[in-house]
Structure 1
Amino acid sequence: MEFGVSTFITDEGIGAADLGRALEERDFDALFIAEHTHIPASRETPYPGGGELPRIYYRTLDPFVALTAVAAVTERLVVATGIALVIERDPITTAKEVASLDLISGGRMVFGVGAGWNREEMRNHGTDPATRGALMDERIRAMREIWTAETAEFHGEYVDFDPIYAWPKPVQQPHPPIYVGGESERAIARVAEYGGGWLPRGNVENLGDLVAKVRDRAGWRVPVTVYAARRDPAVIESYAAAGVDRTLFFLPTQPRDETLRTLDEFTELAKRHT
């Protein structure tokens, strides 16, 4: 099992390049970073974690800009969105950003996606929360067409464009793996439909059963990365027993020195399970 980190990169924590170098120096496998374009001043949608929405949600950097900085100073580290909010993104622009990052990183990009939870935020992007899942599915299908066809064309209910040329094409073929976040029946169906991996949360019960279900539904051994894993050796052992391929520790957003100390703690924990 590999080990990586999931985090929010903001203007108040360690810089993206410093974080990337520190992770690779400690032999971590991957960096997954969160995305929020903004947080509406009107707080109607409850925070899924309970209580007040943490400050880091208000201050996230653009994930593709941050991951490009990471890719430029590393050689092996997987650079990933965890997760990109496709429902808030133009598919033609996003397809170019994903392909560009995959090219710049030398084929190290993983495209983690999800349907989001903040209804006010998505409405500001013109997205109806009631149809966000269908919108996400269609945008991803359109992006796959852009990545794989020399002349791409797509006509759907939410995405519609006549033949276009769009480069660069991704280094990874047919495109960077799409890791689907979430544990719902629809999320599992998405893994089977277009997912190159599954990204469940670390607090999910019966993870072993769900891993088997995801792989059975997809018909192949889908790679599984656990997001925001608990720092409990017994829990990590249970991930390994469940067939998890990568565990992501959740890294608090802190200044450089505090971050490096936390990474050293993660390193010691990971060494017990490698």
Structure 2
Amino acid sequence: MEIGVHATCTDETLRPDEVAVLVEQAGIDALHFGEHSHIPVGRDSESPAEGMPREWARLPDLLIALTTAALATTRLRVSSAVIQLALREPITTAKALATIDVLSRGRLDLIVGHGAITEQMRNHGVDPGTRYDLVRERMLAMREIWREEEASFHGKFVRFDSILSWPKPVQPGGVPLFFGGNSPGSEERALEYGDGWAPLALAGVPDRIRTLRNAGHQLRVVAVGVPTDRAGVEEYAAAGADRIVFRLASAMPGEIERSLDEVRSAAAAVV
């Protein structure tokens, strides 16, 4: 089982490449970054801006952060947690991600999110009510671009005739795309059009992973936000998770080392 960490890098912390070097030196397998293009100030939805971590408005561009982390390391896998694909145009995003995969020599994978901030989606011209179908088509369209010399796609939300686009990802079949989410039916959606499932480590998730495994599904599972206690780690390992991801408490100089030590101690339960 792989061990990953999620780091919140901003303009006030260590840079993504600096964090990546420390994570790789700690012997950890994967580093995940999150994404928010912006945080709306005036909001009516259930998660008011004042209740959100202030860091969310200060995150660097995800794809640039992944690139710098990949170029600063040689072994570490770099990933999102999550990429907000509902807010990204698929043709240019497919090219950017393929480029990162080439530059990293095949060390990129992605957890795909569907958006949770209503005003944020609307600011990007996205109808929150159709975001799951939109993301599904964008995932399928990007795979077509990665796999086919002449790619085309004709869906409800994504439509383009034959195009040429290089580079192609180094990894066979393209960059792995993990369906991120805990909502009912997430596993089925991941089996239908994802390369894996990436739930948050909430109550009931280990049982859902066991159900997948008992049904014989080999779908890769990444559990995000696993608590750093031995019982929690052992539970996800026994359930059959392929990677568990801990949240780093800090990406500040002098503090990140302590956070990485805590992760190593927790991972020792299964490594």
TM-score by length of structure 1 reads: 0.94
Aligned to 1:79: 78
Q: Name which of 188, 204, 207 aligns with 2:205.
A: 207
Who is 2:226 aligned against?
229
Secondary structure, aligned partner of 2:160: strand
8 Å CA contact retained: 1:91, 1:143? yes
Q: What are the Cα deviations for residues 76-113 of structure 1, in whole angstroms up to 9, with x where unaligned?
A: 11110111011000000110111111101000100210
Alignment of 1:1-274 (within 5 A): 1-47=1-47, 52-202=51-201, 204-215=202-213, 220-274=217-271
> For the Cα contact (< 8 Å) 1:7–1:253, is it kept in 2?
yes
Using the alignment, how far apart are the partners of 2:128 and 2:120 within structure 1? 10
2:9 touches 2:251 (CA, 8 Å); kept in 1? no
Cα distance in 2 between the residues matched to 1:153 and 1:94: 15
RMSD: 1.8
What is the identity, as a one-letter code, of the residue corresponding to 2:10?
T
* Mapped contact 1:191–1:214 kept (Cα < 8 A): no
Partner Cα separation in structure 1 for residue 95 and residue 73 of structure 2: 21
Structure 2 distance, partners of 1:223, 1:13, is 32
8 Å Cα contact 1:192/1:214 also seen in 2: no
Amino acid at match of 1:230: P
Alignment check: 8 A CA contact 1:5 1:250 kept: yes
Q: 1:7 to 1:200 in 2, by over 3 A?
A: same
How far apart are residue 10 of structure 1 and its match?
A: 1.2
Kept after mapping to 2: 8 A contact 1:10/1:253: no
Equivalent AA in structure 2 for residue 189 of structure 1: E
Shift of 1:253: 4.1
Kept after mapping to 1: 8 A contact 2:233/2:267: no
Contact 2:35 2:81 in 1 (8 A): yes
AA paired with 1:261? Answer: R
Deviation at 1:225, TM superposition (A): 1.2
- Asked if structure 1 preserves the Cα contact closer than 8 Å seen for 2:19 and 2:251, the reply is no
Residue segments in structure 1 that go unaligned for 5+ positions in a row:
none
Return the alpha-carbon distance in structure 2 between the equivalents of residues 175 and 205 of structure 1.
Answer: 32
Percent of aligned pairs with the same residue?
A: 41
The residue type equivalent to 2:41 in the other structure is: A
Amino acid at match of 1:79: V
Q: Which runs of 5+ in 2 are unaligned?
A: none
Deviates more, 1:244-253 or 1:117-126: 244-253
- Check whether the contact 1:15–1:256 (CA below 8 A) recurs between aligned residues: no
What are the Cα deviations for residues 105-142 of structure 1, in whole angstroms up to 9, with x where unaligned? 00010021011100100101100001111111111111
Cα deviation code 1:220-264 (max 9, x no counterpart): 311211101112211111111111121111113442211122112
CA displacement 1:154-204 (0-9 Å, x = unmatched): 1111111111111110000111111111122342222111221111112x2
Which contiguous aligned blocks of 4+ residues in structure 1 show a shift greater than 4 angstroms?
none
**Does the aligned pair in 2 maintain the 1:198–1:222 contact within 8 Å?**
yes
Q: How many pairs are equivalent?
A: 271
